[in-house]
Structure 1
Amino acid sequence: MVNFIPENIISSIQTAANIVDIVSEVVMMKKAGKDFQGLCPFHSEKTPSFTVSPSKQIFYCFGCGAGGNVFHFLMKYQGISFPEAAAKLAQRYGIQISDQAMSYEQKQRMYEREQLIRINKEAGQFFYNELTQNKVHTEASSYLNHRGINQEIIDKFLIGFAPQGWDNLLRYLSNKGFSPAIIHKAGLIIPRTNSTGYYDRFRNRIIFPIINIQGQITGFGGRVLDNSLPKYLNSPETPVFNKSRTLYGINTARQKSRETGIVYMTEGYFDVISLYSHGIENTVATLGTSLTDEHVRLLKGMVRQVILVFDSDQAGVRAAARSIEIFCKQNMDIKVLILPEGHDPDSFIREFNSDKFKKKSENAKHAMSFLTDEAVKKHGMSVEARLRIIEDMKNPLTSINDPVARSLYIRELAERLGVDEAMLLQRIGHSNFAPPFAPPPLPQVPERKIFYSKQTRMEKKLISMMLQFQEILPEIKKRNLLNYFEDPLLKSLGLIILSKFKGRAGEKISDIINFIEDKEMQSIAASLAMETEEWNLEGCLSLLIQFESGQKRRTDNLLNQIETAQRENNQSLLFELLRQKQEQARERQSTT
């Protein structure tokens, strides 16, 4: 895969792209010695095991085994190919990369994504101009003004207006050179049912561009000016817009969220905009869809706590309850802010002020306390009601992955309901989860042979040395040490290192990982490169001598066993020992 792109271009991209900067956009990390650590974005964990090395320009998760360089991080996080990751980074850092590096399908996919982003940008400009420059749309301006949205906020969120009419946007984008087919692919127009052609999806609506964390418009939301239905209309799913992985306001909330470690999650566009305009900048909203694991992972990389600020009606309570379970499964600290009846975040902060909102935030309820209160409010406290409360709390409690937290919440519920804790545990169904105070389950890491036998542990150490002290590579090659490796994966990795590294000081570990396509081998290379042993020439030579001595002892031992088998006329054992000797010789010859 990497061979399609010139090595000098790849090296230029890696030199320009600091992996810490790229990863920090989606993972909240803290300095830990020479490295940075954070919660892994690829699996659920409570204790950080995800490590990024700025000096080596690689990442590795000691929990799930994911590892690689900056290209592999983007590939895994965004689900894209190597050429696509290289193209993204090259564009970001102003490096030219030939499209000859991609297959026809990859070129088409990249071209289509670029076209869709360009179309969305042009459409966003069209809507913005219609609102801010076309004086005919006074109704739209009056509506926003009535809701307390000034020009500064309009500019910040690029709010626009889709005028009445069937093909205003279609004609505008066609004049810009875009075909109806690609405009339709962007979700901005809809095919006519009774005739040929298309018509605009958004008409006579306030338009909210949906902007991703990189600042690109990926979709749009539109709200009517009256009470007609549907009140809100979103872009459909496209190659660049996925509601399950998108949060409105993530681009404006990112910086403040990282600074405070807290983000407010709401349900609507106006909630985000109103809170932002009153100084509560760390606010996002779902896009008319239920919360997903992807939403949580997006926030998990930025904050330590989420405060749900949903409407106080029953629909809002149900939405909060669903969201709590998903957050709990991801081991996130979750609170719920209850607003006075009849208020949503937008109306509350406009009627009162940011100080009162912040004060109420300080008293936000922890998720389980909120759910218990709601269940009590719903059922009462009769004997039958308490049984129903326990039933309501069953799923939320079993969704908590942290066994200590789960045990404490069960104890709190037992005290609140006046029931025996052991009976409550039995009623909920303790078989569904680990017993209280049991150690948290470790992530499932694929078993690898290299971590067990004495021989392969030594081979692992040699590969780690080869990655981190390239000056020793000529000596490795001269002594043919890889010929003696037992682990085929480690031997293959060693051969790649020897073929790609020249053994000069200053060669980068992150470069070698580009030449490894096998995912398990990538993970092993990143893991071994992360080891912190300080290497020097004396220590390296000492390890080589130790390895060679071990091989000599093994060979001598095998020869002694063969002689013994011959003396004792043990034909079956002799046959097996000779087979082993022949196999060793064949393996050494195959790599010579």
Structure 2
Amino acid sequence: MGVSNHLPCNIEDVVDLLSIPVVRSSGTQLHCRCPFCDDRKAHLNINLSKNVFRCNRCGTGGGVLHLYAEVNNISINTAYEELCRIFQSGEKAPEHPVRKAQTKVKQSKPALELASVEARDNTYSNLLSMLSLGTAHRESLLGRGLSGSEIIRLGYKTTPAVRSAKIVTELLERGCDLKGVPGFYVDEETGQWKLDIRATGIMVPDRNCEGQIEAIQIRLDKDTHSKFNTLTSVDKYYGATASCCPHFAGVTGEEDAVYLTEGVMKADIARYFSTVLGHPCAFVGLTGVSNINQYVRMLEELKRFGINTIKVAFDMDLHVNENVRKARDRVIQVGCENGFEVIPKRWSSNYKGIDDLLLSFIERRRITDSIFGRL
């Protein structure tokens, strides 16, 4: 390695001297944990051929002398003198007070207030009308028991993988207002609106009691932590935080009761299955079993419909999942306190969700029909 500034050492020698943790080496570069910030993922890049360093996290950078001086909190001249004594005369490195790593302060980006329900519904409706449903996603939904016509009616679409710039342009040409609509933000460099798609999957509209789309949930292709996330542009420049609503499926106000379940897609599927079975039921899906704010909003809206009975159809993993059980008990308590008749529904644990249970009824009927024929 070459010696910079006539020093008797190079930057790799100094990295070793300072005991900076090297996570990986590519031969010409070292990737280390930065001693200047609370780095845990090797953001410090050491260029061995140029004898320079830079942290991609906190921005600290420089040459050999800067690295030694910054770590020890001394001047460049003192750093030069000490390195010469250490590497030329073999002196022991002097002790310096340990420099405390600085926590990187995350700069908050300007955000917009959530757009009105009408603006979100208009933008999301136009967005979904421009997209298509991929073959793999369509086959997946058919495999869950939905019909082709029902999939079209529900308006499920595949997240766009390309041409997002054209999509944004067309939305603006259609007169859609993107300000405050979660999923859209402004590019800091160009000032242009952009669509923020963070993961691939099936886009599922979250509709309120009026049928308006207030948010879009995404059934993820890879569910490492969760099966669903919500289209958002939180932490983006002039982005917006998503706000989901209780999802109404088949609620007209003519019903005596609604079934309460977990999730937007589950409510849609369960509603369809009940219709296929000849007993169409109304469903409301919460985007989280413990989302009490959504639930309270649902209660107020049910009152306006004149519906006072709620049948709680949470997944049967409540027998082994304490969080689901507690959420179910809380739902019953709050519903009763608000004057509703709340009835918990149970079924065999062989079928986790209400959609699984209803699909089993459909499959049994198909078997019966195949054996005896329709009457």
What TM-score bracket applies, with the shorter chain setting the length? 0.5 to 0.7
**1:205 matched to 2:201:** yes
Task: Please list every run of 5 or more consecutive structure 2 residues that lacks an aligned counterpart in the other structure.
Answer: 1-112, 366-375
Cα shift at 1:182: 4.7
* Per-residue deviation, residues 300-324 of structure 1 (Å, max 9, x unmatched): 3331210000012223212201211
The one-letter code sitting in structure 1 at the alignment partner of 2:304 is: G
SS at match of 1:214: coil
Distance 1:224 1:195, change over 3 A: farther
* Per-residue deviation, residues 468-493 of structure 1 (Å, max 9, x unmatched): xxxxxxxxxxxxxxxxxxxxxxxxxx
> 1:253–1:281: 8 Å Cα contact kept in structure 2?
yes
In structure 2, the residue matched to 1:157 is: 154
In structure 2, the residue matched to 1:146 is: 143
Residues in 2 aligned to 1:230 and 1:181: alpha-carbon distance in whole angstroms: 31
In structure 1, the residue matched to 2:353 is: 344
**1:264 matched to 2:259:** yes
Segment drifting more, 225-234 vs 154-163: 225-234
* Per-residue deviation, residues 474-524 of structure 1 (Å, max 9, x unmatched): xxxxxxxxxxxxxxxxxxxxxxxxxxxxxxxxxxxxxxxxxxxxxxxxxxx
Cα shift at 1:334: 0.3
SS at match of 2:229: strand
In structure 2, the residue matched to 1:283 is: 283
In structure 1, the residue matched to 2:299 is: 296
Question: If the length of structure 2 is used for normalisation, what is the TM-score?
Answer: 0.53
Distance 1:180 1:349, change over 3 A: same
Any residues of structure 2 matched to 1:497-512 within 5 Å, and which?
Answer: none
Residues in 1 aligned to 2:168 and 2:339: alpha-carbon distance in whole angstroms: 45
Cα shift at 1:145: 1.3
* Per-residue deviation, residues 253-278 of structure 1 (Å, max 9, x unmatched): 222xx333110000022321222122
Residues in 2 aligned to 1:179 and 1:188: alpha-carbon distance in whole angstroms: 17
* Per-residue deviation, residues 541-568 of structure 1 (Å, max 9, x unmatched): xxxxxxxxxxxxxxxxxxxxxxxxxxxx
**1:176 matched to 2:177:** no
Distance 1:194 1:240, change over 3 A: closer
**1:334 matched to 2:335:** no
SS at match of 1:347: helix
Distance 1:354 1:307, change over 3 A: farther
> 1:265–1:309: 8 Å Cα contact kept in structure 2?
yes
In structure 1, the residue matched to 2:314 is: 310
Residues in 1 aligned to 2:346 and 2:227: alpha-carbon distance in whole angstroms: 24
Residues in 1 aligned to 2:270 and 2:117: alpha-carbon distance in whole angstroms: 32
Distance 1:178 1:232, change over 3 A: farther
Any residues of structure 2 matched to 1:89-108 within 5 Å, and which?
Answer: none
Q: Which structure is higher in strand share?
A: 2
Distance 1:113 1:283, change over 3 A: closer
Between the two proteins, the alignment pairs up a number of residues equal to 232
Any residues of structure 2 matched to 1:210-221 within 5 Å, and which?
Answer: 210-221=206-217
SS at match of 2:251: helix
Distance 1:170 1:263, change over 3 A: farther
SS at match of 1:331: coil
Cα shift at 1:299: 1.7
Residues in 1 aligned to 2:364 and 2:297: alpha-carbon distance in whole angstroms: 32
> 1:170–1:189: 8 Å Cα contact kept in structure 2?
no
In structure 1, the residue matched to 2:30 is: none
Task: Please list every run of 5 or more consecutive structure 1 residues that lacks an aligned counterpart in the other structure.
Answer: 1-108, 132-136, 357-592
**1:247 matched to 2:243:** no
Cα shift at 1:190: 5.0
SS at match of 2:270: helix
SS at match of 1:218: strand
> 1:158–1:209: 8 Å Cα contact kept in structure 2?
yes
Cα shift at 1:352: 3.0
Structure 1 vs Structure 2 CA RMSD: 3.6
In structure 2, the residue matched to 1:274 is: 269
SS at match of 1:254: coil
Cα shift at 1:204: 2.1
> 1:189–1:201: 8 Å Cα contact kept in structure 2?
no
* Per-residue deviation, residues 389-446 of structure 1 (Å, max 9, x unmatched): xxxxxxxxxxxxxxxxxxxxxxxxxxxxxxxxxxxxxxxxxxxxxxxxxxxxxxxxxx
Question: If the length of structure 1 is used for normalisation, what is the TM-score?
Answer: 0.35
Any residues of structure 2 matched to 1:457-536 within 5 Å, and which?
Answer: none
Distance 1:355 1:268, change over 3 A: farther
Which structure carries more relative contact order (alpha carbon 8 Å, separation 6+)?
A: 1
The one-letter code sitting in structure 1 at the alignment partner of 2:299 is: V
SS at match of 1:285: strand
Cα shift at 1:290: 1.1
The one-letter code sitting in structure 1 at the alignment partner of 2:298 is: H
Distance 1:179 1:185, change over 3 A: farther
* Per-residue deviation, residues 53-96 of structure 1 (Å, max 9, x unmatched): xxxxxxxxxxxxxxxxxxxxxxxxxxxxxxxxxxxxxxxxxxxx
Residues in 2 aligned to 1:355 and 1:301: alpha-carbon distance in whole angstroms: 38
In structure 2, the residue matched to 1:61 is: none
**What is the identity percentage for the equivalent residue pairs of Structure 1 and Structure 2?**
16
Cα shift at 1:141: 1.3
Cα shift at 1:235: 3.9
Residues in 2 aligned to 1:124 and 1:181: alpha-carbon distance in whole angstroms: 13
In structure 1, the residue matched to 2:229 is: 233
> 2:259–2:282: 8 Å Cα contact kept in structure 1?
yes
> 2:185–2:240: 8 Å Cα contact kept in structure 1?
no
The one-letter code sitting in structure 1 at the alignment partner of 2:357 is: F
Distance 1:113 1:297, change over 3 A: closer
Distance 1:224 1:332, change over 3 A: same
In structure 2, the residue matched to 1:125 is: 129
Distance 1:323 1:178, change over 3 A: farther
Any residues of structure 2 matched to 1:22-37 within 5 Å, and which?
Answer: none
1:321 counterpart (313, 325, 329):
329
Cα shift at 1:170: 4.5
Cα shift at 1:222: 0.8
